[in-house]
Amino acid sequence: MTDTLSSWIKAFSDCEIPVLYTSKRRIHALQENEQDITVTVLTEIARQDPGFSISLLRHAGRSTKKEITTLSHAISLISIPLVIKMLTDLPALEKVTDKNTTKNIFKVYAHQYQTAFIAKEWSILRKESENNEIFTAGLNRGFVRFMLYIIDPAKANELEKIYLSPDESHKIKEKELLGYSVDEIAQAIAQNWKLPELIRESYSGKHHNPKITGVRLAAEFMHQIYSHASVHYPDELINRAAKYIRLPVNLTPGKINWIIIKSIRNSQQYLPYQPLLRLMMSYSSSRMKELKVHTTGSKQSLSYYIKLLRSEHPNRSSLELIELAVSAMKECAGFSRVVFMSFDTTEKCLKMHLQKTDNDLPNFKQFTISLGLNKLFNQLLKKEQTLCINSRNQHKYTELLPQPLRPIRTTATIIINSFYVNRKIVGCVFVDHGDTDKQLTSNDLHSFKTICTELKAAIESTIMKRKATRKVA
């Protein structure tokens, strides 16, 4: 094949794109059970199958003059019966490629899904609308890498070696191999197929669209992780991500890794090969320069406790991890009273579970907060959120707090966080500065949120590892 853009366009346009066997099985099961097959159902199948997804976008782009924005939009334009026929008629990936090629394509699929998932979650953090457009762009912008395995497996293997190398000159080596960089080939094909604008424009840095910035930044993060086989991020990359998603720098690595863990959990049922699973099990993420936050007079640094939460101990219980987090809040963030209340799913109440207080303050006696009787906590536990009670709003909340949790001083600031793991309520964290005049600072709040984020990721990582171990067993 002559390595010209026109020859690449023809090769990719002529290529029949196989779909995952699980996708065919899902549509067959729906047809057998005579269930309604809606645009939503088909969109969900396509979101978990990048081959089917790009087939839909290519078909829609060729058959309509309208600008396509999302997978659901493409399905609506093609029509449900024709999409079902496409999925039924297309060959199964596992039957038309050898075992090694299939595994390599699965790896690219997982990579693309994680890029899309991160970009969409970032868009939600930024409170942007139409984040499904971003997911569609993130999922499909890397189509060249997996389709090349079908067109020219030998070149695809060489390209993957180049891509996964930590060498920064990978674009130069791509041109030596293919005649053009992957982005140049992908952009030419995307324009020819009339793929969504966010995909077409995502290959060039010359744009002013924040959504494209998010997609490109998510792709950059995934390349960093895969090429270095590590979730140790360079400062420069973390700083750009923190600015984009509007989070403090010290919270950003933990937030990104939690999103990656969530993406694996959401996709591993239908994408059978998850190359980041083992890496995320240990949750050893940090910035290249380890975050160092010290509080004057504290026994240990916050970074010390973060390392403990991130360290790989598969036999640690959630209780042990919570104890570490409570200690971090007491010793490092400098709170005078720290209480973790666990949620009793049977009795629908919070029960005092762990506490650490200053020596001159009395220990909390056992108490229970019934959600049926307490409007504040009933509302607070409906979703994951943080409530700050200070001198300006104490009059609204003091009477709603159980007696032991009420502010000791009228100038006191209290932080309460409803703590969720895997989208389920686990409990509630309460902190304040006790019987002191100390006021809550932005650093206190950042430290509190950092510890909560690290604890959440550590527990979810441990749960995921146990499930993977059971499957292997």
- pLDDT tens for 343-367 read 999 999 998 888 888 887 877 777 8
What phi and psi values does residue 386 have, to the nearest 5 degrees? -120, 130
Question: When comparing pLDDT for 446 and 234, which is higher?
Answer: 234
Q: How far apart are CA 175 and CA 182, in angstroms?
A: 8
**Looking at 282-344, which runs of residues are DSSP E strands?**
286-287, 337-344
Among the listed residues 284, 226, 250, the one whose alpha carbon sits nearest the alpha carbon of residue 465: 284
Q: For position 155, what pLDDT does the model report?
A: 94
Q: For position 149, what pLDDT does the model report?
A: 95
Taking domain 5-209, whether its CATH number is 1.10.3210.10 is answered by yes
The class (CATH top level) of 295-472 is alpha beta
Q: For position 272, what pLDDT does the model report?
A: 64
pLDDT single digits (tens) 294-324: 333 445 677 788 878 877 665 678 888 899 8
Q: Quick check: helix, strand or coil at residue 215?
A: helix
**Looking at 376-465, which runs of residues are DSSP E strands?**
386-389, 414-421, 424-432
Q: How far apart are CA 320 and CA 313, in angstroms?
A: 11
pLDDT at 18 over 90: yes
Q: How far apart are CA 262 and CA 245, in angstroms?
A: 17
Q: For position 312, what pLDDT does the model report?
A: 62
pLDDT at 289 over 70: no
Q: Is the whole-model pTM more than 0.75?
A: no
Q: How far apart are CA 228 and CA 209, in angstroms?
A: 29
| Radius of gyration for the alpha carbons in the chain, expressed in angstroms and rounded | 25
Q: How far apart are CA 130 and CA 381, in angstroms?
A: 28
CA 261 to chain centroid, in Å, comes to 6
pLDDT at 46 over 60: yes
Question: When comparing pLDDT for 265 and 40, which is higher?
Answer: 40
User: Of the given ranges (181-185, 243-247, 448-452), which has the lowest mean pLDDT?
Assistant: 448-452
Q: For position 114, what pLDDT does the model report?
A: 92
The answer to whether the CB of 354 falls within 8 A of the CB of 431 is: no
Domain map (residue ranges) of the chain = 5-209, 295-472
Q: For position 71, what pLDDT does the model report?
A: 95
